Amino acid sequence: MLKNISSRLLGLFFIAALAFQATWYGLLWVSSFRDPQVLLGADFRAFYTAGRIARQEGFRWVYDLALEHRLQAEIADAPLADKAVLIYIHPPLLLPVLWLLAHLDYPTAYIGYGLVQIAIVLAIPFLFNRRKVFGWFCVGGAALGLLSLAMVGLTGVRDYLRILAVSAGGQGYGLSQSAMFNFTGLAFRLFPHVDPGMIRWLAWGLFAAGIVGLSVLWKVSPAIRLRHLGLAVLTSLFVAPHLHYHDLALLLLPILGFAIILVEAGVLRPERSMYLPVAFSLLLLLGDISPARFVIPYLVMAFLVVGLWFPVKLLFTSRKMA
């Protein structure tokens, strides 16, 4: 009897949490269209600018900062200071899609880009239903690299590297490092009077140490398990030089790994494992609209590290380790 009541309550919580999040994000989406300034302030402005440059000037000019500044001011229909310009810091791989979207007006292109992202998310699970992922990843990465070079040319590659240097230096252009959810953002918030250059050097040192540490761990491990993959994602999120709130969507990977480990350990029923991603998502959403906005994501990361590597100690019960 109690088990039935508990199952029904969990089911109701699952439905309520999904409905709340869908409604909340739906309202945010609608409100962004009601206020043109909010829509123009979205990160999509950088993507749309890249598409406009590719369409009007050619792919090789996409990473020209002066051109980005000028066209973005045209899109915003107002003069923009350097710090207000949102630079396009992504590889050229998306440029054909952005080129197509640039044929639409800004609000319509914004909707189109959202639909493209949804389509990609739905397609990703099918991509991993194959073996030899790493080998194909290398082949695919090399092919995309050659395609990128063909699109933007050596001049575009040079400008792209310059853009990355600007991003790494945190120099204006809407980068707002103090609002990030990585080590860099944490350090800027905790030590506002410390030389920013020193914090950035520490951040890059930690980034390099993270790569070396994960490489050594994977090398000495007899097998790569879910906890190794989850730790790689969590470490990457924390030490990445550039990480804003929307990038925390990558937490879904270690969350799913944690759920699978709990199922394999006999702690969680398979049919209830779907509650975990929804619960974490709700927690992050509530944290984003609360004074604990810059605390909860770090607590979630720390919890997942412990949960992935020490599930028995965390939950005090287990049948077998993942």
pLDDT for 267-315, tens place per residue? 778 877 888 888 888 888 888 888 888 999 999 999 999 989 887 666 5
| Mean pLDDT in residue range 35-57 | 81
Q: Can you spell out the DSSP letters for 122-169?
A: HHHHHHTSSS-HHHHHHHHHHHHHHHHHHHHHHHHHHHHHHHHHHHHH
Higher-pLDDT residue of 26, 285: 285
pLDDT reported for residue 175: 66
Residue 307: partners with Cβ closer than 8 Å, 6 or more residues away: 258, 261, 314
| Mean pLDDT in residue range 218-231 | 86
With 50 as the cut, is the pLDDT of residue 105 above it?
yes
Local confidence band at 33 (pLDDT 50, 70, 90 cut-offs)? low
Q: How far apart are CA 155 and CA 146, in angstroms?
A: 14
Q: How far apart are CA 94 and CA 83, in angstroms?
A: 24
pLDDT reported for residue 298: 94
Higher-pLDDT residue of 174, 9: 9
pLDDT reported for residue 17: 77
Local confidence band at 321 (pLDDT 50, 70, 90 cut-offs)? very low
pLDDT reported for residue 133: 56
Token representation of residue 233? 């994602």
Residue 250: partners with Cβ closer than 8 Å, 6 or more residues away: 233, 236, 237
> What residues does each domain of the chain span?
35-175, 177-322
| Mean pLDDT in residue range 208-225 | 87
| Mean pLDDT in residue range 195-206 | 88
| Mean pLDDT in residue range 250-272 | 85
Residue 82: partners with Cβ closer than 8 Å, 6 or more residues away: 69, 172, 173
Give the end-to-end CA distance of the chain in Å, rounded to a whole number.
31
Mean pLDDT over each residue of the chain, to the nearest integer: 79
What is the distance of C-alpha 317 from the center of its chain? Answer: 33
pLDDT reported for residue 35: 67
List b or e across 152-187, with b for residues whose CB sees 16 or more CB atoms inside 10 angstroms: beeebbebbeebeebbbebeebebebbebbbbbbbb
| Mean pLDDT in residue range 209-213 | 90
Considering only CA atoms, which of 256, 267, 263 is closest in space to residue 304?
256
With 60 as the cut, is the pLDDT of residue 130 above it?
no
| Mean pLDDT in residue range 230-246 | 87
pLDDT reported for residue 169: 63
With 50 as the cut, is the pLDDT of residue 128 above it?
no
Write down the pTM of the prediction. Answer: 0.70
Check if the beta carbon of residue 34 is closer than 8 Å to that of residue 26. no
Identity of the highest mean pLDDT range in 15-24, 28-37, 59-68: 59-68
Q: How far apart are CA 235 and CA 241, in angstroms?
A: 12
CA distances to 110, 152, 161, 262 from 113, rounded to whole Å, are 5, 22, 25, 36
pLDDT reported for residue 171: 55
Helix/strand/coil for 203: helix
pLDDT reported for residue 132: 54
pLDDT reported for residue 320: 45
| Mean pLDDT in residue range 250-262 | 89
Q: What percent of the chain has pLDDT over 90?
A: 10
The model's pLDDT over 146-189, given as tens digits with 9 standing for 90+, comes to 777 777 777 777 777 777 666 666 655 666 778 888 999 999 99
